Amino acid sequence: MSTKPLVFVTGNANKLREVKAILSSGHPIAIESKSLDLPEIQGTTQEVAIEKCKRAAELIGGPCITEDTALCFEALNGLPGPYIKWFLADLGHEGLNNMLAGFPSKAAWALCTFAYSSGPGAEVKLFEGRTNGRIVPARGAAKFGWDPVFEAEETGKTYAEMDGEEKNKISHRYRALDKLREYLKSIDA
């Protein structure tokens, strides 16, 4: 890997804390964070992630990672997907539940896509993680986005009901970061 530090493009302290905790296990990786106002194109999660990372690498002038999170409802063929941030801001937790009123399935999946670029003009690599679950009325502390309404299949708890260590073992973010960590180790060898 380059001698320049790896920059995680985020202004979200909760995401930064989770990323540092997950990436530092096993093979420590020094990460700096930088908040950039990047345009988000409309498209698939992958298209959004690639374009965001390309632009971030240009602005930073070196290696960086970006993250895009999607919450996908089975009944809505994967929507709201990468637009969950805006749906949550406008509708709140109750509104996300109301979107599924009348649908027999409350199944959902959390999808995290990390994008890595070694610098301007370099090919962007994607690392995805998915956790299956369902949408439920809000439970747990409302400290982090849609965590109170997403119940992970493996635990029967919402992300908001889990402590950080428990969530980091099964989350969509953990699964994507685990793949990214392995990749970073392979290019740093």
Q: How many CA atoms lie within 13 A of 14 on its CB side?
A: 12
- Cβ(134)–Cβ(109) below 8 Å: no
Output the pLDDT for position 29.
74
Which of the residues in the chain have pLDDT under 50? 1-2
Output the pLDDT for position 26.
64
Output the pLDDT for position 168.
85
**Domain range annotation of the chain:** 6-188
Output the pLDDT for position 35.
87
- Give the Cα separation of 12 and 69 in Å (integer): 13
Output the pLDDT for position 3.
52
Q: How many CA atoms lie within 13 A of 146 on its CB side?
A: 36
Output the pLDDT for position 2.
45
> Is the CATH code 3.40.50.740 the one for domain 6-188?
no
Other Cβ atoms closer than 10 A to 156:
11
Output the pLDDT for position 31.
81
- Give the Cα separation of 165 and 170 in Å (integer): 9
Tokens 């997907």 label which residue? 81
Whole-Å CA distances, 170 to 8, 125, 145, 149, 158: 21, 22, 17, 16, 12
- Give the Cα separation of 157 and 136 in Å (integer): 10
